[in-house]
Structures are given as C-alpha cells and as structure tokens.
A and B are shown apart, each in its own frame.
Chain A
C-alpha cells in the first residue's frame, strides 16, 4: 500500500477541508482508533494500562493544552502543573459536594475552572513576552501550589492534606475510585482525550488557530492585519488551561486516585514542556508522540539495568536515570529541533515520491 495522493481528486470544498485529505491517513487513523478502543482494552495487562497507557493519554492531553499555547500561540508557559492542579482540585470539590454529577461534566467543568485561572495568569502576556513571560508564569505554578496546600477548604479539611477520588459510576461501571478497573478508567480517559484531541485539531485549523499562529509568528504584524492580541492571547491561555485542567482532573481521578499538592509541582510543568518540545511545537500529533516518549523513557531506563543483568544500587541507578534522561533530551533536541512529529512529516514527504524521487 503506497502512500501517495495521485488519483485522489477533491471534488468539493468539504473534501478540500477534510482533516485527513488522504485516504491512507484516514485508514491509519481508523486503525489507530480501533487499536485504542478495542485491541488495547482486550489485550493489555492491568500493569500496562495503569503504568503506561493511562498516564500517556493524560500527559498527551496536557501536552496538547500546552502546545496550543506554546506551539500555536507562541506564549511559553511554565505554569502547566498549576493549571492541572486547578483541574484536579475543582473536580475533587465538585464530586464531593455534588455526588450525583456525571463524571464527564465534572471533568469539563474542572477544565472551565482552570480556563478562568488561566485567563487571570495570562493577562501579563499582553505586556510581557518571551522568557520574561515564561518566568512570570512560574508565579502561577508556585502560587497555585501554595494555595491548594494552605487553604484547607480545597481538600475538605482532610488532615492528611491529600485528595482522593471518590467512587463514581457511569453506565453501570465504576469509573473512578479504588474499585474501578483499569479498563474502565482507561476507556473514560480515552474517550475524553480522543474527543478533545479532535476538537484541538479543528481549533488549530480554524479562524482562532490561525489568529494564534499569526500572533506567534509576529504579534505586531498580526495586530496590524486586524487580529486582536487581547482576544487571541487570552483565548489561547483559556483553551490551553482548559485542556490542562481536564488533564489534571483525569490525573487525579483516572490515574493516581489520590494525590497531594506536591504531585503538581514544577517538575510536572517541565515534563509537559519536554513532551511538547520533543514531540514538536505546533503539532497535535507531536503532543502524542512527545507524551509517549517522555512516559516511556523513564520506565525503560528503570527496567533496562535489570534487563541487561546489571544490579546497581538504587540511588546510583536513580542518578544514572536522571543523567541519561538529560542526555536524551539534548540528543533529540539537537537531532531534530522541530520535534519528532517533523520526522513523521519528512517520512511522509519521502513516501509520496518513493520509489522514484525525481
């Protein structure tokens, strides 16, 4: 099956504007969806779902969120962890005070709460740019983390200071809490992530995405051609934080089950930033690839020494992991500064001409 567009004529505007104009892309996507919705839940072990696939999906969602902001609108943010915390804590407050609320609505509402917080911390972006802004968004990170730690109302005056996902049902299945099966949690995560990824893809193709990209490429020029920076930047912050917020609520409810504020610390923000940059700035596919990479590498690094028969002392191994992780980041950034998604793009270009590249 060759990957080429010859012979695929577009006969209507709808065809022309399709997300996947090529038949082969549509097939690949369909196969990916079948694998995600049917094959993985049937074949994966509990450990695999729990330790690899669910975090991968959640991080992919957060990475899409950050990518909308950093990759499409050009506003670097280091506050992702803070916005995810807003989502997580809002979802917790909502489910504990309104136990009958549908979980999907809870996730979406926690995204909305994060969006409002995101707008607030996005206001400085109208004045400051680049690294000044990046450092300023750290204010969001540290302030929100402090807030959720200090104000006991957020964790219902629980003496341990942790928030725990209560058991909730959807369609007769327990989807959150300690008794939910990994499959159920996987499915709900997958549905949320798949739908939101589709929405994100469409957003970036439409009017709003184009105005973001104009702002990213040169904000003054964008302003002159009639794009309102206020609307573009704040909407980018709002939507990005919405995604991060939903990711944060999934982080608590379908993955970890029980977290402290410390889980949303600055390292989480950096991790998501790694995913976006390694995967590719300005690419939804890149967010998924980056998330897969950053989720998989530490697991591989942890298990690699045993696999090869080395038995290092635990602390030494931990240090090695950190070191190798750093080297890998530098390596990938040097080899492909535009991210792994770019590699896929190059492959596609090559395939189109293959086997006669002239």
Chain B
C-alpha cells in the first residue's frame, strides 16, 4: 500500500517535471524565456539559409539535392582558402561565387543531363555521389584543418531589455531576410525568374514554349551555390570552416519537410519553428531525458507535424490520381 503510494508520488513528480515545471519556469523568468526564443529564432534563420538552397533546386529541377551541405562546405572552403592566400575579401567573394557557377555547370553537364527522366531516387543517389566528391575535392585542395573565417561582420554582445544578444546573429538574420526578399523579387520580376517558375510548374510545358531547360538548371544550381556561399560564410564565421559544416545539411532536412520542399517561405518559417522548438526543448525538457536531444528533436517535431499535414506547411497540396 505504502509502496503504491510511493510510486504514485513518483509518477506525479515525473509528470510534474514534464508538464508543469517547464511552464512555471517560462512564466517566472520571462526574460530568460524570451532570450531562449530569440536565440532559437536566430539559429532558425541559419537553418533556413541552408534549406533555401534545397528548395531552389527541388523547385526547378525536382532533384532532392543532398549535396547542398557539401556545397556550403565547398564554397566556404574556397572563400577561406583564398583569403588565407592573401586575396582581399571582395575579390575572394567574387571568385568563390564564380567557382560555384563552374560547379553548377559541371554538375549539369556531367551528372544531371545523362540522368534526365530517371526516377527521383536515382538522382538523389547521384547527389550523394556529388556530396562525397565535393567533400573530398575541397579537402584535397584546401586541407582538412579548421579555418577561421572573418569577413568583417561585427561580433559583439549587447543587451536589450535584459536579454543578451549577439550582434553577429542579428546580422545573420538581416542577411537571411535580405536574401529571401531578393530571391522573391528575382523570381517575381526578372525574365529568368519567370522562366524558373515556369520550369518549376511544368517541365514539358516550359520546354514547349521555348524555355531552355539546361540554362535554367545551370542558373538555379548557381543560385543555390550562392545561397550556399552565404550560408557557408555565416556558419563558417560562427563555428569555423571545417568538415562538419557539410553535416548541417542534416539540420536543414527537418526544416525542409516541415516547410514543404517547394516553398521558399516554408523554408524560412520552418527554419524558425525548428530553431525555436529545438532551443526551447533542449533547455526546458532536455535535462529530464539526459540532454543532447538536438540531433533528433527537430526530426521528431517535423515528423509529428507531417502526420497532420503530409505536404508540409506551405507545400503544394498532393493530389493523387490513378
């Protein structure tokens, strides 16, 4: 009888720790909570930056480009390698962007073109091959040490309303927002942007009205390369340019399925949700189950979400016909 009571109390304690205490903490220390949320949002922007590259390519060519992470690493390695050789920042940026265009052209010519009309999984497989190649190539050329990257973004902490914020994170968010705005305008108003949207809608129809599919693919892979470069600069400045940079692709995947593979706003909103969810869960619930949950929590969050909306937040509604 007493033992039963004991276990009852224990159960209540566990339930209390899961369902009550974290919320009590949130309300009694609102400033800290706000700091966690803002921190999560800012990390989320960084995830979005990576996810954006995936979305661009998936939209235009229907390829699930696993190599996006490797492209981030490769772009950052090229940039940092050039800067270490004494090339000024602006020139290094231009050259790195140029290198990404070359990468796009080579990928289009050697990988995508021979694989036109193959099933998605085969293309996915090919992009894993590209991942291996780019990782190996980048490290062969630039070495596998951790490089410090500093392109002159200020990195000081300051305080607003009791919250400690990092200037760099704000910059990252601003750059991310600017890039999304730029991409949105680019897609909406330029000729190439319109062509891109047409290709994304329907390859066949786009071809038949005279849109050059090959050029579009090169453009879109180049743009994804630029996005990768920006993401590489941000992540590289934050944590140093090193091999593990290509693993952030794995961080971007839950963002993608949450936001929908085909939606740019989805990538942003998904990134923010994942960023905040992950931080809040890690801080308030992480200690209960031993911590280090950030590796899988985002996936579980996205998975739970997908059960209710299989096409992601902003993905196109899946219509199936026989």
Query: Which residues of A come within 8 Å of B, CB atoms?
Result: 70, 76, 124, 127-132, 134-136, 138-139, 142-143, 145-146, 150-151, 218, 220-221, 224, 266, 270, 273-274, 277, 281, 315-316, 319-330, 333-334, 337
Is the C-beta of B222 less than 8 angstroms from some C-beta in chain A?
no
Within 8 A of A (CB), among B108-125: 110-111, 114-115, 118-122, 124-125
Chain B residue nearest in CB terms to A270: B128
A-B contact pairs, 26 of them (CB 8 A): A70-B121, A124-B303, A132-B261, A132-B310, A132-B311, A136-B257, A136-B303, A138-B253, A142-B299, A143-B296, A145-B296, A150-B292, A220-B320, A224-B322, A315-B144, A319-B139, A320-B140, A321-B136, A322-B136, A323-B140, A324-B136, A325-B136, A326-B131, A326-B136, A330-B126, A333-B125
Is the C-beta of B290 less than 8 angstroms from some C-beta in chain A?
yes
- Expressed in whole angstroms, the minimum distance between the Cβ of B41 and any Cβ of chain A is 22
Chain A residue nearest in CB terms to B315: A132
**A333 and B129 within 8 A (CB):** yes
- Chain B residues contacting A142 (CB-CB under 8 Å) are 295-296, 299
- Expressed in whole angstroms, the minimum distance between the Cβ of B17 and any Cβ of chain A is 17
**A218 and B322 within 8 A (CB):** yes
**B131 and A131 within 8 A (CB):** no
Q: A135-B256, A135-B302 are contacts. A322–B132 as well, Cβ < 8 Å?
A: yes
- Expressed in whole angstroms, the minimum distance between the Cβ of A272 and any Cβ of chain B is 12
**B120 and A130 within 8 A (CB):** yes
- Expressed in whole angstroms, the minimum distance between the Cβ of A273 and any Cβ of chain B is 8
- Expressed in whole angstroms, the minimum distance between the Cβ of A216 and any Cβ of chain B is 11
Query: Which residues of B come within 8 Å of A, CB atoms?
Result: 64, 110-111, 114-115, 118-122, 124-126, 128-137, 139-140, 144, 250, 253-254, 256-257, 261, 289-290, 292-293, 295-296, 299-300, 302-303, 306-307, 310-312, 318, 320-322
Report the Cα distance A131→B322, complex, angstroms: 20
**B114 and A334 within 8 A (CB):** yes
Chain A residue nearest in CB terms to B301: A139
Q: A132-B257, A135-B302, A146-B295 are contacts. A329–B140 as well, Cβ < 8 Å?
A: no
**A337 and B115 within 8 A (CB):** yes
Report the Cα distance A151→B291, complex, angstroms: 11
- Chain B residues contacting A138 (CB-CB under 8 Å) are 250, 253-254, 299
- Expressed in whole angstroms, the minimum distance between the Cβ of B203 and any Cβ of chain A is 17
- Chain B residues contacting A270 (CB-CB under 8 Å) are 128
Chain A residue nearest in CB terms to B127: A330
- Expressed in whole angstroms, the minimum distance between the Cβ of A208 and any Cβ of chain B is 22
**B133 and A323 within 8 A (CB):** yes
**A136 and B306 within 8 A (CB):** yes
The 4 closest A-B pairs by CB, nearest first: A326-B132, A323-B136, A326-B133, A322-B136
Q: A146-B295, A329-B128, A333-B126 are contacts. A319–B136 as well, Cβ < 8 Å?
A: yes
**From B120, B137, B292, contact of A131 by CB (8 A):** B120
Report the Cα distance A68→B121, complex, angstroms: 15
**B310 and A127 within 8 A (CB):** yes
- Chain B residues contacting A277 (CB-CB under 8 Å) are 121-122, 125
Most buried by A among B129, B300, B311: B129
- Chain B residues contacting A143 (CB-CB under 8 Å) are 296, 299-300
- Expressed in whole angstroms, the minimum distance between the Cβ of B63 and any Cβ of chain A is 10
- Chain A residues contacting B292 (CB-CB under 8 Å) are 146, 150
**B132 and A325 within 8 A (CB):** yes
- Chain A residues contacting B130 (CB-CB under 8 Å) are 326, 330
**B133 and A327 within 8 A (CB):** yes
**A319 and B121 within 8 A (CB):** no
Report the Cα distance A69→B124, complex, angstroms: 17
- Chain B residues contacting A325 (CB-CB under 8 Å) are 132, 136
**From B119, B125, B137, B139, contact of A329 by CB (8 A):** B125
Most buried by A among B121, B135, B253, B321: B121
Report the Cα distance A299→B222, complex, angstroms: 35
- Expressed in whole angstroms, the minimum distance between the Cβ of B76 and any Cβ of chain A is 16
**A330 and B121 within 8 A (CB):** no
Report the Cα distance A119→B322, complex, angstroms: 27
- Expressed in whole angstroms, the minimum distance between the Cβ of B73 and any Cβ of chain A is 12
- Chain B residues contacting A130 (CB-CB under 8 Å) are 120
Report the Cα distance A76→B302, complex, angstroms: 17
- Expressed in whole angstroms, the minimum distance between the Cβ of B64 and any Cβ of chain A is 5
- Expressed in whole angstroms, the minimum distance between the Cβ of A334 and any Cβ of chain B is 5
- Chain B residues contacting A129 (CB-CB under 8 Å) are 310, 318
- Expressed in whole angstroms, the minimum distance between the Cβ of A284 and any Cβ of chain B is 18
Chain A residue nearest in CB terms to B290: A150
**A146 and B139 within 8 A (CB):** no
**B257 and A329 within 8 A (CB):** no
- Chain B residues contacting A330 (CB-CB under 8 Å) are 110-111, 126, 129-130, 133
**From A135, A139, A281, contact of B121 by CB (8 A):** A281
**A274 and B136 within 8 A (CB):** no
Q: A127-B310, A135-B256, A146-B296 are contacts. A319–B144 as well, Cβ < 8 Å?
A: yes
Report the Cα distance A316→B300, complex, angstroms: 38
**B307 and A274 within 8 A (CB):** no
- Expressed in whole angstroms, the minimum distance between the Cβ of A126 and any Cβ of chain B is 9
- Chain A residues contacting B122 (CB-CB under 8 Å) are 277, 333, 337
- Expressed in whole angstroms, the minimum distance between the Cβ of B271 and any Cβ of chain A is 15
Chain A residue nearest in CB terms to B144: A315
**B132 and A131 within 8 A (CB):** no
Most buried by A among B110, B136, B137, B254: B136
Most buried by B among A142, A277, A325: A142
Q: Beyond A129-B318, A220-B320, list 4 extra A-B contacts (CB 8 Å).
A: A131-B257, A132-B257, A139-B300, A319-B144
Q: A221-B322, A224-B322, A266-B250 are contacts. A127–B128 as well, Cβ < 8 Å?
A: no
- Chain A residues contacting B312 (CB-CB under 8 Å) are 132
**From A127, A146, A329, contact of B132 by CB (8 A):** A329
- Expressed in whole angstroms, the minimum distance between the Cβ of A320 and any Cβ of chain B is 6
Q: A224-B322, A323-B140, A337-B115 are contacts. A136–B302 as well, Cβ < 8 Å?
A: yes
- Chain B residues contacting A326 (CB-CB under 8 Å) are 128-136
